[in-house]
């Protein structure tokens, strides 16, 4: 669909919403009036009002809508909001049904409800804000309000000189069909694992020295990937020993290792991880249907997931997260319900329900073979939410991605008192996050509720080749941290636009 702007230059918020509402129709920005399918987004400024209007044409049918805001209140954020609202209300007349997230195109919708709670509103007020201002469905608005309650509770656990640390291991046993992360399969690049670990240990030692002199302390630690448990027991033991040596974890409330694939876990490795200081582990089957596992390129079975969970319990883990994905190829609402039922029978502390996102670098983006439709995915999520709430779980964080089936969301669910603190701090941007290893993103909280981002090289080979640059960047990050008044625990502001996560 074409997109033409008249009277303004705010292309991004309108284009992102158009891409979300019409995902199967590539968006084309044009600089002159056109005929045929597409959108004209207009803005006019008067003495009393600023008015946004949109005319959307699709399949020869057209619809229009407008929204306005008083001129004295028309800052950038409000202007972007009315541009999106007018576009949404016009597009809605041409869509078969109302999208679940209404006029929101950002990846962190719960920031809006969190802002409402922090300003003194109730959860009912927060849900009403999302429904009435952004046209979010009642079900999604309630999810946001519930998650924001946990965000506010998490903020009460944070102290003025806290930050979180992420350690990335960008290797997996095999590449899943839905994955677009820059990770390497051990089948193809196993020889990189040992030199990568050596480089990571150098970055860890360097960061530890800087951190010790900074006055900041580690509140949560997360080892992700890839699949960190691709490391052997011996390699994992070396890494955990280095973490204990170089990082002061005396105030760390939560240390998570993403076990990921059940076929990378055994009792010995789990005991190494537990004895190394880890308090929380993820065992992520994604599905408990063996046929679906084969369709996405995983080489483990549902039975191995059950075995790995039992081994984690015997190793002493009381906090276990398990991931499922709604919308995988070959899956059905009945199959997803069975997978969730098997997981809930284990009573893990957390269950994260993802919606399949078709990422451009993934095999599924090209093939789209045997994918459930949006109605089937909606049923998976709706019935799943009912089962999770019935089982005593509450949503504690959520986020969205581009190209998600049915334009839904990912939601982390927890039993009482078991919310994943790192997930909240990272997704709600409550404080600075240091990232080590390939693909890591350092997110530094600045005054004025702004974020500075510093990226580590994504590919393990680039990380190895540019390690000196990575270490110099850590020096720059800590130079910046030393200039920031400690005590910034207010979340970065909500935006009506997507951003990185």
CATH code: domain of residue 380: 3.20.20.70
Tell me the pLDDT tens digit for each residue of 95-137. Answer: 999 999 999 988 899 999 999 999 999 999 999 999 999 999 9
Q: What is the number of helices (H) and of strands (E) in the chain?
A: 17, 18
Indicate if 237 and 317 belong to the same structural domain: yes
Indicate if 312 and 447 belong to the same structural domain: no
Residue 64 lies in a domain: yes
pTM, entire model = 0.91
Half-sphere exposure of 446 (CA within 13 A, CB side): 10
* Last residue within a domain, chosen from 96, 116, 137: 96
Indicate if 453 and 361 belong to the same structural domain: no
Indicate if 437 and 381 belong to the same structural domain: no
Indicate if 329 and 455 belong to the same structural domain: no
Indicate if 91 and 209 belong to the same structural domain: no
Residue 316 lies in a domain: yes
Q: What is the pLDDT of residue 345?
A: 98
Q: What is the pLDDT of residue 501?
A: 21
Q: What is the pLDDT of residue 173?
A: 82
Whether 364 shows a pLDDT value over 80: the answer reads no
Indicate if 277 and 338 belong to the same structural domain: yes
Q: Which two tokens stand for residue 98?
A: 């109302």
Indicate if 289 and 188 belong to the same structural domain: yes
Location of structure tokens 């500075």: 452
* Last residue within a domain, chosen from 52, 69, 96: 96
Indicate if 31 and 85 belong to the same structural domain: yes
Alpha helices in 178-286, H assignment, sequence order: 186-189, 193-212, 233-246, 267-275
**Mean pLDDT score, 347-356:** 97
Q: What is the pLDDT of residue 449?
A: 77
Cα 221 to chain centroid, rounded: 17
CA distance 99 to 95: 9
Could you tell me whether strands 254-260 and 217-225 are parallel, antiparallel, or unpaired per DSSP bridges? parallel
Q: What is the pLDDT of residue 182?
A: 53
Whether 189 shows a pLDDT value over 50: the answer reads yes
Query: Smallest Cα–Cα separation from 57: which of 41, 80, 74, 79?
Result: 41
Alpha helices in 251-403, H assignment, sequence order: 267-275, 290-295, 302-314, 333-345, 363-367, 374-390
**Mean pLDDT score, 287-296:** 95
**Mean pLDDT score, 311-322:** 97
Whether 3 shows a pLDDT value over 60: the answer reads yes
Whether 440 shows a pLDDT value over 60: the answer reads yes
Indicate if 374 and 450 belong to the same structural domain: no
Which distant-in-sequence residues (6+ apart) come within 8 Å of 65 by Cβ? 53, 54, 85, 86, 87, 88, 89, 90, 93
Indicate if 182 and 237 belong to the same structural domain: yes
Asked if 82 and 49 count as a contact pair (C-beta separation under 8 A), the reply is no
Whether 236 shows a pLDDT value over 60: the answer reads yes
Q: What is the pLDDT of residue 181?
A: 60
Q: What is the pLDDT of residue 136?
A: 97
Residue 206 lies in a domain: yes
Least confident of 384-398, 427-441, 451-465, 476-490: 476-490
Location of structure tokens 């935006």: 495
Q: Looking only at Cα atoms, what is the longest distance across the chain?
A: 72
Q: What is the pLDDT of residue 417?
A: 93
Domain that holds residue 5: 1-96
Q: What is the pLDDT of residue 184?
A: 56
15 versus 174: the higher-pLDDT residue is 15
Query: Smallest Cα–Cα separation from 350: which of 408, 295, 421, 405?
Result: 421
Q: What is the pLDDT of residue 365?
A: 62
CA distance 264 to 172: 9
Least confident of 217-226, 272-281, 439-448: 439-448
Q: What is the pLDDT of residue 303?
A: 97
Whether 91 shows a pLDDT value over 70: the answer reads yes
Whether 293 shows a pLDDT value over 60: the answer reads yes
Asked if 317 and 270 count as a contact pair (C-beta separation under 8 A), the reply is yes
Q: What is the pLDDT of residue 186?
A: 57
Residue 190 lies in a domain: yes
Give the model's confidence band at 172: pLDDT under 50 very low, under 70 low, under 90 confident, else very high. Answer: confident
Residue 455 lies in a domain: yes
- Total structural domains within the chain: 3
Asked if 102 and 69 count as a contact pair (C-beta separation under 8 A), the reply is no
Residue 38 lies in a domain: yes
CATH code of 1's domain: 3.30.160.100
Whether 46 shows a pLDDT value over 90: the answer reads yes
Least confident of 314-318, 354-358, 464-468: 354-358
Q: What is the mean pLDDT of the chain?
A: 92
Inter-helix orientation angle 333-345/374-390, to 10°: 20
Whether 499 shows a pLDDT value over 60: the answer reads no
Indicate if 2 and 54 belong to the same structural domain: yes
Hey, CA dihedral for 487, 491, 497, 499, is it positive or negative? positive
Least confident of 104-108, 346-350, 386-390, 396-400: 104-108
| C-alpha dist (Å) from residue 163 to 141, 147, 422 | 29, 21, 10
501 versus 199: the higher-pLDDT residue is 199
Asked if 65 and 35 count as a contact pair (C-beta separation under 8 A), the reply is no
Give the model's confidence band at 405: pLDDT under 50 very low, under 70 low, under 90 confident, else very high. Answer: confident
Q: What is the pLDDT of residue 497?
A: 35
Residue 300 lies in a domain: yes
Residue 120 lies in a domain: no
Half-sphere exposure of 425 (CA within 13 A, CB side): 30
CA distance 168 to 451: 21
């Amino acid at each position: 669909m074409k997109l033409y702007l008249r009277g303004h230059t705010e292309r991004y918020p309108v284009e992102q919403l158009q891409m979300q509402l019409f995902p199967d129709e590539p968006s084309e920005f044009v600089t002159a009036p056109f005929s045929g399918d597409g959108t004209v987004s207009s803005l006019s400024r008067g003495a009393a009002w600023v008015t946004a209007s949109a005319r959307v044409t699709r399949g020869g049918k057209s619809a229009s809508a407008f929204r306005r805001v008083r001129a004295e209140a028309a800052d950038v954020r409000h202007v972007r909001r009315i541009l999106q609202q007018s576009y949404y209300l016009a597009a809605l007349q041409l869509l078969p049904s109302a999208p679940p997230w209404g006029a929101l195109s950002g990846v962190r919708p719960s920031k809006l409800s969190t802002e409402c709670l922090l300003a003194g509103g109730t959860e009912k007020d927060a849900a009403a804000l999302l429904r009435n201002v952004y046209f979010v469905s009642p079900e999604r608005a309630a999810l946001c309000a519930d998650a924001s309650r946990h965000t506010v509770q998490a903020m009460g656990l944070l102290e003025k000189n806290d930050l979180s640390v992420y350690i990335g291991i960008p290797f997996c046993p095999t590449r899943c069909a839905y994955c677009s992360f820059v990770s390497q399969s051990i089948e193809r690049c196993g020889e990189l694992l040992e030199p990568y670990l050596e480089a990571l240990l150098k970055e860890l030692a360097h960061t530890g020295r800087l951190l010790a002199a900074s006055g900041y302390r580690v509140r949560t630690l997360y080892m992700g990937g890839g699949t960190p448990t691709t490391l052997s027991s011996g390699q994992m033991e070396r890494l955990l020993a280095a973490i204990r040596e170089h990082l002061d974890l005396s105030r760390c409330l939560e240390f998570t290792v993403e076990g990921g694939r059940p076929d990378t876990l055994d009792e010995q490795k789990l005991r190494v991880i537990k004895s190394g200081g880890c308090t929380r582990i993820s065992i992520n089957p994604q599905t408990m249907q063996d046929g679906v596992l084969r369709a996405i390129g995983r080489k483990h079975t549902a039975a191995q997931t059950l075995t790995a969970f039992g081994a984690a319990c015997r190793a002493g883990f009381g906090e276990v997260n398990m991931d499922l994905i709604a919308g995988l190829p070959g899956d059905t609402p009945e199959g997803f319900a069975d997978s969730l039922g098997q997981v809930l029978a284990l009573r893990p502390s957390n269950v994260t329900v993802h919606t399949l996102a078709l990422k451009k670098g993934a095999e599924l983006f090209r093939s789209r073979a045997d994918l459930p439709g949006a109605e089937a995915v909606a049923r998976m999520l709706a019935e799943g939410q009912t089962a999770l709430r019935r089982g005593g779980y509450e949503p504690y964080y959520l986020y969205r991605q581009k190209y998600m089936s049915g334009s839904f969301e990912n939601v982390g669910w927890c039993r009482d008192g078991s919310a994943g603190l790192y997930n909240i701090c990272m997704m709600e941007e409550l404080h600075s996050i240091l990232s080590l290893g390939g693909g890591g993103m350092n997110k530094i909280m600045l005054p004025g509720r702004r974020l500075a981002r510093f990226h580590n090289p994504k590919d393990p080979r680039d990380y190895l080749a540019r390690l000196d640059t990575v270490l110099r960047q850590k020096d720059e990050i800590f130079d910046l941290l030393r200039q920031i008044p400690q005590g910034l625990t207010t979340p970065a502001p909500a935006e009506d636009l997507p951003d990185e996560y």
